[in-house]
Structures are given as C-alpha cells and as structure tokens.
Chain A
Amino acid sequence: MDFAGAFAWDNVVFILKGLLVTLEVALISIVLSFVIGCILAIVQYAKIPVLSHIVATWVEIIRNLPLLLLIMFTYIALPDIGIKLDPFVSTVVALTVFESAMLAEIVRGGLRSIEKGQIEAARSSGLTYVQTLWHIVLPQALRSMVPPTVSQFISLLKDTSLATAIALPELVHNMSIVKSQNVNYTLPAFLLATMLYLIVNFALSIVSRRLELRRA
C-alpha cells in the first residue's frame, strides 16, 4: 500500500477531474430526463387514444432493460443505422432515455395522487384541460415528486460509472488509470473514488430529507 504515492497531487487532481465529468454528465442527463419524463407521464395521464398506449409500452420496455445495454447500444450499435455519437453524448442520450422512463413512473404516481374532485372543480369553474393540468395538477404533483426525484438523481449519478465501459473519462475511468501505475495504488485510488461518491451522494440525500421535512 502506498498512500503517499497514490495521493500525489497530480493523481488526486486527475481523479477530481473525473468526478467533474461524472457530475456534468449527471446534471445534463437529469435535467433532460426530468423534462422528457414529465412529458411522457402527462401523455400517459391524459389518455390520448393510441399515443398513450405507445408511450406506456415504450416506458415499460425501457424500464425493463439494463442501462449498460442502452449505453453500449447507443455507442456501438446506433452507428450501424447511421447515428454516430461520441462517448459523452452517447452516455447522456442513454442515461436520458433510461432515466426519463424511470422518472415518468414517478411523475405519473404524483399526478395520480391528485384528487379527482379538484380537477372536476377546476374544469367546472371554466379552466380548460391544459390550464387545469398546468395550474392545478402539476404544481401539486411536482411537490410530492421532489424526494423520489432526488433519489433518482442519486441513482443516475451512480449509473454514470457504467460509461467507463465506453471510455468516458469519468470518476471510475480516471481511478482505473491512477491505480494502473502501481499495484500499491489500487486500494488508495479505490478508497478515494468511493469517498467522493459517498460525499456527493450524502449531500444529495441530506437535501432530499430537508425537502421532505419541509413538505410535512
């Protein structure tokens, strides 16, 4: 074990750079998947004849596939049909497709928790369907969705590690490079990466708990 050597300034900075890429990918993906997840959920909720069924089927299929498969598929298989993406974009696309389906289920649950009476009251007081959704249903649903969304964000942040398989220079990838210099660097590099994940995710779960408390 050589902690001093492994934690040389350059190595630590290199691993932190990996964390930065992890955070960047996670942030972009969570924003995109939240927006898309809301759209998918609203389409399902609104019971548009054929479209709602297609979306429901899509969500169910994606939710039941391994994320690693989606990442590999996006990076390696899509070029076969003429879509070529670099590791960064591939990861964002795969994560967004996967997590938006997961979030769609959360949002749908939030929407369904709104009492029917409120909607009927809003409609009878002259609001259109879209207005009812936008002003009455969504704001309430969003509030109840915050904690599960934060925990989904934690999962997403953890899931970015899979992109190491397609050489995205994220945290695990940079850890692997640091540890490969020397057998004695394995444990220190591993511990540092683990600690970084823990710190970031603990911070997020504390935020999530705060939000939950405020709601109650």
Chain B
Amino acid sequence: MIDFSILTKYSDFYMKGLGNVIEACLIAMAGSFVLGTIIAVFRIAPMRWLNAIGALYVEVIRNIPLLMVVYGFYLLPPVFGMSAVDGFKSGTLGLIVYTASYIAEAVRAGILAVPKGQTEAARASGLTYIQTMRYIVLPQAIRIVIPPIGNQFLNIVKNSAILGVIAGFDLMYYADKISSDTFQYFSPYLFVALLYLVLTIPISFGVKYLERKFSKAR
C-alpha cells in the first residue's frame, strides 16, 4: 500500500518542495511579525485615525479567506497596470498580510497587559511615545506574546500549502507532479504529510513548552 521507492526516486522533488516551503515560511514569519507589530502599535497609538486604520486592517483581513488575500496579489496587480506577481511571491505576500492581522491582535493584547502606570511614568520622565513603546512597553509585551506568535508561525507553515493552488513550487505542487508521474496518489501525498509534520510538530511542542514556562512564571 505504501510505496517507499517513490521517496528515493523522487527525493529531488521532495527536497525542492521542502526547501521552497521553508523559504516561504521564514520570509512570511519575519514579514508578518514586523507588519503585525506595526499594526498593533497603530491600534493603540494615541491617534484616532491610526486606530481606525489598524482596526480596519485587522477586521477586514481576519474575515476573508487566506486564498482571497493571496488572489489579491496574484490577480489584481495587472488590473491596475502593475506587473504581475508569480505564485511563490504572491503566496508568501498573502501569508504575510493574512498572518499579520492575527499577530497584531496578539501583540496588542500583550501591550495592553503592560500596566498603564509604567507608560505614564515613562512619558512623564520625558520619553517620547515612540521611545516609551520601544524601550518600556514592547520588551515586556514580547514575552507575553511569544506563545501566541509561535502558534501563528505554526499556522504559517500549515497555511503555506496554499502555494500549491497557484503553482508556487511547494510540497503540494510537487506531490501533484510526483503523483501524475507515478500513477500513484496515496504514497506521494502521505510522504508530503510526513514532511509537513517534521516541520510542524517541533514548533507545536516548542509553543506548548513556552506556554507552560511563561504561565508558571506569572
């Protein structure tokens, strides 16, 4: 039932797919963390219009499917006369924009968990708003938000399979190709599932470990 010879015969394809998945995920993790943090700061900044932009971003992006966000990068640029984006890039960009909305909420919760008194004290002692954020609030918030962000990174790895829908040369894409070449479907897809687990299980354990560690510390 399980044909292991496929794994050796097509190891090049599997490795290429795995490499592309890892690349897309690392870029998406860094990108969504930065963008998510910016949006979170927008949401709590002492400026109404920034709050509104942040809230709009989170509410809109969280309520539409990742596939639509990815399609936004894949289908729309040519409509506006810009050059189009290939499957790998639009998939990765979609992951960044989509995940940022979740990370923004996690970071916001973390920032709000830092007692208000500290912010007021910092402002009173002459720090600007940005300095207060940078040196007082964010370093503390980061610790609180690490587990939920870890969960979002786990989601990035799982969601990266979306690249397979738009020919992004990821593991799903190669599973399709290997299946068509071998006339077998069960084994090629099973091996891809295993490769995803090799990526996701360690992250999942890591997140659980951190959750326990930080909840004990408080």
Q: Residues of A at under 8 Å CB distance from B?
A: 1, 60-61, 63-69, 72-73, 76-81, 154, 158-162, 164-165, 172, 179, 183, 186-187, 190, 193-194, 197-198, 201-202, 205
CB-defined contacts of A162 to chain B, threshold 8 Å: 65, 67, 162, 165
- Which residue of chain A has the shortest Cβ distance to B64 in the bound complex? A197
CB-defined contacts of A158 to chain B, threshold 8 Å: 63-66
CB contact between B204 and one of A60, A81, A194 (< 8 Å): that residue: A60
Other A-B pairs, 6, CB within 8 Å; known A66-B172, A67-B161, A162-B65: A68-B162, A69-B175, A77-B190, A190-B72, A190-B76, A198-B64
Q: Closest approach, in angstroms, between the C-beta of A177 and any C-beta of chain B?
A: 13
CB-defined contacts of A81 to chain B, threshold 8 Å: 1, 186
Q: Closest approach, in angstroms, between the C-beta of B177 and any C-beta of chain A?
A: 13
A197 near B204 (CB under 8 angstroms)?
no
B189 near A69 (CB under 8 angstroms)?
yes
Whether A63 touches B79, Cβ cut-off 8 Å, given contacts A73-B193, A76-B179, is no
CB-defined contacts of A154 to chain B, threshold 8 Å: 63
Q: Closest approach, in angstroms, between the C-beta of A163 and any C-beta of chain B?
A: 10
Whether A198 touches B63, Cβ cut-off 8 Å, given contacts A81-B186, A193-B68, is yes
Q: Is the interface of B mostly helix, strand, loop or mixed?
A: helix
Q: 27 pairs across A/B with beta carbons < 8 Å? A: A60-B204, A64-B200, A66-B157, A67-B161, A68-B161, A68-B172, A69-B161, A69-B196, A72-B175, A72-B176, A73-B193, A77-B179, A77-B189, A81-B186, A154-B63, A161-B65, A161-B66, A165-B164, A172-B71, A183-B78, A183-B79, A186-B76, A190-B75, A198-B63, A198-B64, A201-B63, A205-B63
Q: Closest approach, in angstroms, between the C-beta of A47 and any C-beta of chain B?
A: 19
A80 near B201 (CB under 8 angstroms)?
no
Interface: B214 (CB within 8 A): no
- A68 to B218 alpha-carbon distance, docked (Å): 38
Q: Closest approach, in angstroms, between the C-beta of B108 and any C-beta of chain A?
A: 16
- A68 to B190 alpha-carbon distance, docked (Å): 13
CB-defined contacts of B190 to chain A, threshold 8 Å: 73, 77
- A81 to B160 alpha-carbon distance, docked (Å): 27
CB contact between B201 and one of A64, A67, A160, A190 (< 8 Å): that residue: A64
A80 near B160 (CB under 8 angstroms)?
no
Q: Closest approach, in angstroms, between the C-beta of A90 and any C-beta of chain B?
A: 13
- Which residue of chain A has the shortest Cβ distance to B68 in the bound complex? A194
